[in-house]
Amino acid sequence: MSRASRRRPLSERLLRLALLAKAHEVQAEPCTPERALRGQRADHLAVLCWAAQQEGRA
């Protein structure tokens, strides 16, 4: 079995990254540029995750 076939689907990997990014965002101090940047990254990963899930259902 190849390594690629044992990997989780892209949507699952993106979901995990999105959850980790959200947790990382929450750890930053509120109302700071760092928190805003982390929030933007988390939002971007959430959009990618949603798109991958929609593509998987098509």
Each of the 58 residues of the chain gets a pLDDT tens digit; together they read 456 557 888 888 989 999 999 999 999 999 999 999 999 999 999 999 989 889 877 5
Number of domain units in the chain: 1
**Would you state the structure tokens that stand for residue 49, as one six-digit string?**
């995750």
DSSP 11-41: HHHHHHHHHHHHHHHHHSPTTSHHHHHHHHH
Inside any domain, residue 1 = no
Range of the domain at 23: 9-57
Evaluate whether residue 17 is within a structural domain.
yes
Q: Which residue has the tokens 């982390």?
A: 38
Terminal-to-terminal C-alpha distance of the chain: 27
Q: Which two tokens stand for residue 38?
A: 């982390």
Model-level pTM?
0.73
Neighbours of 45 (CB within 10 A): 19
